[in-house]
Amino acid sequence: MDEERIDSLKELSEILSYTFSDITLLDISLTHSSYANENPDLAWEDNERLEFLGDAVLQLCMSDILMKRFPDYTEGQLSKVRAAMVNEQPLAGLAREYRVGGFMLLGRGEENSGGRDKDSILGDAGEAIIGAIYLDGGYESALRFIETAFQSLVDEWVESPIYLDYKSLLQETSQGRFRLVPQYRIIGASGPDHDKTFDIEASIGDIISTTGTGKNKKEAEQDAARKALQKLESI
């Protein structure tokens, strides 16, 4: 690792408000598989293993945080809040706040296709950074980082406990319980072009099927996902 890269990583450490004992861990957390594939002589792997670890650490730390913050919530309520907090969208949003995209190591294809601002890449990098902090400083360091990073999201939930992204929450729940990804399909559309109403079905294999309605496809998908989550509560 050259001096320029080390200085860059130290800058990100300051943004994250965490000082690494082994800054190589931070570098690995920012190394996308596309870059590792294009650089087979790289001294370390891509960030996928750290992402795997970080996902588990985030789930545990967020469970710890929510148990303390919401002592009256049931297990089901805690699971819903946690799923809303740790899905790709908020993770990518936090990664943008910390300017993670500018420090990523990407392959040429991802670089040219706007990979530095893709939710999937940023969300994965966010989890990998959490994994790196855990390996570097242990559980308490990871917990402190997550408490700080997610504080505003948790506070926002207290003020307005509404699931703004039902699709992400449904996917998280479906993959966790059934190892299946929800599917969406248009089953109807009515009204003039300037004021259409869409009907969209959300299904999880043969387990559940619901229909949502909205003024656009996204709105109808969210409505279908919301209804699917309600049904899953009774299963």
- For the chain, domain boundaries: 3-159, 166-233
CB-CB contact of 9 with 103 (8 Å): yes
Q: What was the pLDDT predicted at 74?
A: 78
The stretch 55-72 carries a mean pLDDT of 93
72 annotated active-site:
no
pLDDT at 120 over 90: no
The stretch 119-134 carries a mean pLDDT of 94
The phi and psi torsions of 139 (rounded to 5 degrees) equal: -60, -45
Distance CA(75)–CA(95), nearest Å, equals 28
**Which one of the listed residues 27, 46, 51, 55 is annotated catalytic?**
55
Confidence of residue 68 (pLDDT cuts 50, 70, 90): very high
Query: What percentage of the chain carries pLDDT values higher than 70?
Result: 97
pLDDT at 223 over 80: yes
Name the token pair of 196.
Answer: 């259409």
**Which one of the listed residues 27, 110, 124, 127 is annotated catalytic?**
127
The stretch 96-111 carries a mean pLDDT of 93
CATH 3.30.56.10 correct for 166-233: no
pLDDT at 133 over 60: yes
pLDDT at 163 over 60: no
119 annotated active-site:
no
Task: Specify the range with the lowest mean pLDDT, choosing from 6-10, 31-35, 121-125, 168-172.
Answer: 168-172
H-run or E-run covering 200: strand 197-204
Edge-to-edge order in the sheet of strand 208-214: 183-190, 197-204, 208-214
Query: Which class in CATH covers the domain with range 3-159?
Result: mainly alpha
Distance CA(174)–CA(76), nearest Å, equals 14
Name the token pair of 229.
Answer: 């989550």
